[in-house]
């Protein structure tokens, strides 16, 4: 047997790792309700018809070649227009790099910046690939506290305390996965100021920017003034195209401080040739065409969010902060002496009731522990069945 590299041995991805257990049970004939993965297309949300047609047309018209490594100019121009329209942010097509999902953007940026033992400040809890890729490239992820008592807003003092002379990068995820928090302007500006003081590269992942319920999302670049920011976004969630694997990053860099970083990212973009070309054509149509599906999706999700949040808080032993955005609830479990930890709770729920959620410590061993993450993407009747089962599980112990 070949010996795997240390970097590969370090990879963990709780959201998909729990599926292995579910599949085993499914083989024995048990029905499983999957509430683990943030893929709206797996439930009753579908890619808008005109965007699907644009993809098919692109193939028929012969857009089957490798594109420019930074992506099709038409798409980069459409992203520039979107940023102006939605956020009043001024960027140029040259500032944009199209990637195979944000997933690739995370890997490219971290590979460009992080050397052995360099530190990356990530939200605690976080979307796990920020931890996994940092470790993969030899760096050290350091979690900063997001305060559940304060609607899961980042704790600025904790960020300050965790900066060392090895810290190179700071990640903001807003709206947040897994907490569903939406950050206020004051918090974003405070984070930006701390990062600027310590010359950290700020990365802002905004993949759920238009899936918001009460308040509007605030784009980090919009309030950054002369502080540079690398913004990540994509087509998986808002444009309901998870399987297309298309995303982008852009450099908001009013004073040209990120030139060197861009060169590094562009070098990496060249060695992997390009992102999917027909998907880029269709994504251009997605940005330029009607946006009605977004409102429809948010209205549908709002009902599911309200139902989920209310029902979770009615269960004795579970409490949940109201998600303000995205499609995740991140409830706290009163483990008492019934369960050893959140992982045991989640695996027990799966085994006894066939409901699959993700254990909170998979999003951060400290700030995620004693929680679980569930998606509220399914129709109400499925959510009802799942939450009934959860309630039975919690009260039966
Ligand atoms: N960033 C966040 C915060 C996410 O929650 C996800 C997926 O769940 C991604 C990035 C992955 O995005 P993509 O499909 O563009 O790779």
236 lines ligand 1 (CB under 6 A): yes
pLDDT at 127: 96
What would the pLDDT profile of 99-135 be if each residue is shown by its tens digit? 999 999 999 999 999 999 999 999 999 999 999 999 9
Of 276 and 397, which is predicted with more confidence?
276
pLDDT at 302: 98
Atom of ligand 1 at shortest range from CA of 242: 14
What are the b/e assignments for 63-90, b being 16+ CB within 10 Å? beeebbbbbbebbbbbbbebbeeebebe
pLDDT at 380: 98
User: CB pairs under 8 A, 24+ apart, for 6-9?
Assistant: 7/135, 7/136, 7/137, 7/138
| Encoded tokens for 148 | 């559940």
What would the pLDDT profile of 2-18 be if each residue is shown by its tens digit? 888 888 887 877 777 78
- Whether 254 has a pLDDT exceeding 80, the answer reads yes
Q: What are phi and psi of 84, to 5 degrees?
A: -70, -50
Number of Cβ within a 10 Å radius of residue 102: 25
Kindly give the distance from the C-alpha atom of residue 363 to the centroid of ligand 1, in angstroms, as a whole number: 14
234 lines ligand 1 (CB under 6 A): yes
Return the percentage of the chain with pLDDT > 90, whole number.
93
Kindly give the distance from the C-alpha atom of residue 132 to the centroid of ligand 1, in angstroms, as a whole number: 14
Return the percentage of the chain with pLDDT > 70, whole number.
100
| Encoded tokens for 202 | 């700020």
For the chain, the average pLDDT equals 96
**Beta bridge partners of residue 325, listed in sequence order:** 212
The listed CATH number (3.40.50.850, 3.90.1150.10, 1.10.10.60, 3.30.470.10) that belongs to domain 6-46+292-396: 3.90.1150.10
Q: Is the dihedral of CA 156, 110, 91, 206 positive or negative?
A: negative
Q: Do domains 6-46+292-396 and 49-288 have the same CATH topology?
A: no
**Nearest CA residue ID for atom 10, ligand 1:** 102
37 lines ligand 1 (CB under 6 A): no
pTM to 2 decimals?
A: 0.96
All structural domains of the chain with their residue ranges: 6-46+292-396, 49-288
Mean pLDDT of the region 50-75: 98
What would the pLDDT profile of 206-246 be if each residue is shown by its tens digit? 999 999 999 999 999 999 999 999 999 999 999 999 999 99
Rounded CA gap, 80 and 93, in Å? 6
Kindly give the distance from the C-alpha atom of residue 207 to the centroid of ligand 1, in angstroms, as a whole number: 6
38 lines ligand 1 (CB under 6 A): yes
8 Å CB contact between 282 and 142:
no
Kindly give the distance from the C-alpha atom of residue 313 to the centroid of ligand 1, in angstroms, as a whole number: 27
What is the CATH T-level fold of the domain 49-288, as seen in this structure?
3.40.640
Kindly give the distance from the C-alpha atom of residue 78 to the centroid of ligand 1, in angstroms, as a whole number: 21
- Whether 341 has a pLDDT exceeding 90, the answer reads yes
Of 7 and 318, which is predicted with more confidence?
318
Task: Give the residue, out of 37, 103, 178, 326, with the most ligand 1 atoms within 8 A of its beta carbon, to mutate for a pocket test.
Answer: 103
Residue 19's pLDDT band (cuts 50, 70, 90): confident
């Amino acid at each position: 047997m070949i010996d795997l590299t240390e970097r590969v041995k370090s990879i963990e991805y709780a959201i998909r790792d729990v599926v292995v257990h579910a599949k085993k049970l499914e083989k024995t004939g048990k029905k499983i309700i999957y509430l683990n993965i943030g893929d709206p297309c797996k439930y009753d949300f579908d890619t808008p018809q005109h965007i699907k047609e644009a993809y098919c047309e692109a193939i028929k018209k012969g857009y089957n070649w490798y594109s420019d490594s930074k992506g099709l100019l038409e798409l980069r121009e459409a992203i520039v227009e979107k940023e102006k329209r939605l956020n009043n942010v001024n960027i140029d097509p040259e500032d944009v790099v199209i990637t195979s999902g944000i997933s690739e953007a995370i890997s490219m940026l971290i590979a460009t910046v992080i050397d052995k033992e360099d530190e990356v400040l990530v939200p605690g809890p976080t979307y796990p690939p920020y931890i996994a890729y940092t470790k993969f490239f030899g760096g050290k992820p350091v979690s900063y506290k997001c305060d559940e008592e304060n609607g899961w807003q980042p704790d600025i003092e904790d960020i300050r305390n965790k900066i060392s002379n090895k810290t190179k990068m700071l990640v903001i995820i807003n709206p947040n996965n897994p907490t569903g928090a939406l950050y206020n302007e004051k918090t974003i500006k405070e984070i930006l100021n701390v990062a600027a003081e310590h010359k950290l590269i700020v990365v802002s992942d905004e993949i759920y920017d238009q899936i918001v319920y009460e308040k509007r999302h605030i784009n980090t670049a919009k309030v950054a003034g002369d502080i540079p920011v690398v913004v990540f976004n994509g087509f998986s969630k808002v444009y309901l195209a998870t399987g297309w694997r298309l995303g982008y990053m852009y450099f908001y860099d009013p004073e040209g401080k990120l030139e060197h970083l861009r060169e590094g990212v562009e070098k990496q973009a060249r060695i992997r040739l390009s992102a999917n070309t027909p998907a880029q054509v269709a994504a251009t149509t997605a940005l330029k065409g009607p946006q009605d599906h977004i409102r429809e999706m948010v209205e549908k999700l709002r009902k599911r969010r309200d139902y989920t949040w209310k029902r979770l808080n009615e269960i004795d032993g579970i409490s949940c902060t109201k998600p303000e955005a995205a499609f995740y609830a991140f409830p706290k479990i009163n483990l008492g002496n019934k369960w050893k930890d959140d992982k045991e709770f989640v695996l027990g729920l799966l085994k006894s009731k066939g409901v699959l959620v993700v254990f909170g410590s998979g999003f951060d061993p400290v700030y995620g522990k004693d929680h679980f993450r569930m998606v509220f993407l399914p129709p109400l009747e499925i959510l009802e069945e799942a939450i009934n089962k959860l309630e039975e599980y919690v009260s039966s112990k």
